[in-house]
Amino acid sequence: MSLYEAEYETIRVESPTDHLAHVVLNRPDDLNTVSDGMLDDLDDLVDDLEDADVDEARAVLLTGAGEKAFSAGADLGGGAMDPREAVEHSRRGKTVFGRFRELDLPVVAGIDGYCLGGGFELSMCADLRVASDAAEFGLPEHNRGLLPGWGGTQRLQQLIGQSAAKQIVFTADRFDADRMYEFGYLTEVYDDEAFDDRVVEFADGIARGPPIAQRYTKRAMREGYENLDAGLELESHAFGYLLGTEDLMEGITAFMQDREPEFEGK
């Protein structure tokens, strides 16, 4: 079954351009808050992305439905959890989100409107993040006597440094897109009216890259972040492997002919 034929309850998957899987968090009436059902759907989605043919998906764009939010956080369903349940809920969320970091495909988060709490933590697991100038970011948990529980205390400081991350976590303030760009969290900030088109254009540019090289690049960078020596060794092996691919020859030929390469993932 094609990736685009899979059925989910809280997300939808579209293909706005060749090779780009556009994943939409689809609970607009609830500001795309992350429910248990959405965690299940995202988990299943990553399985489907891992199984997808190279011509179905070479990059992933993750956005929120509607005009108000990427995701306004976690939807706890109004029910109280005992401490043991809360521990497992925390583990579940950060494990599912972390699968986007482990996924071989490049993942772009396109953020418009509210990006708060668990939604913010989901965006931390993308490889690249772009936003509209109407986006708002924040981790409000400290104002409620909690801490970010889906990876925010760890992943944010890896991305923007400890001081900036502590400012966001301890103040529980809202930060606009320009400030998040200054922190280095965002790659691009687009005008809100042009956002829908620009974010697809940006992600499509990633999807048009060399699939095999992107896969090994992401693996090497991920491994090296945790262990420099292991990352350097993987980089060397990947470099040697890529020298034997047809994509390399296409890239060289396209450069010599002054045209855009057409990679096939071979």
Instruction: Read off the tokens for 19.
Output: 């090779």
Task: Find out whether 210 and 263 touch, Cβ atoms under 8 Å.
Answer: yes
Strands of the sheet with 136-138, listed across from one edge: 69-71, 114-116, 136-138, 175-176
- d(CA 37, CA 43) in angstroms, rounded, equals 10
Q: What is the DSSP letter of 90?
A: H
Which is nearest to 219 in space by CA: 209, 233, 202, 207?
233
- d(CA 27, CA 124) in angstroms, rounded, equals 20
Give alpha helix (H) positions in 34-82. 36-51
SS3 assignment, position 69 = strand
β-bridge pairing 11-14 and 20-25:
antiparallel
For the annotated catalytic residues, the residue numbers are 121, 141
Task: Find out whether 65 and 24 touch, Cβ atoms under 8 Å.
Answer: yes
- d(CA 215, CA 50) in angstroms, rounded, equals 12
- d(CA 160, CA 144) in angstroms, rounded, equals 24
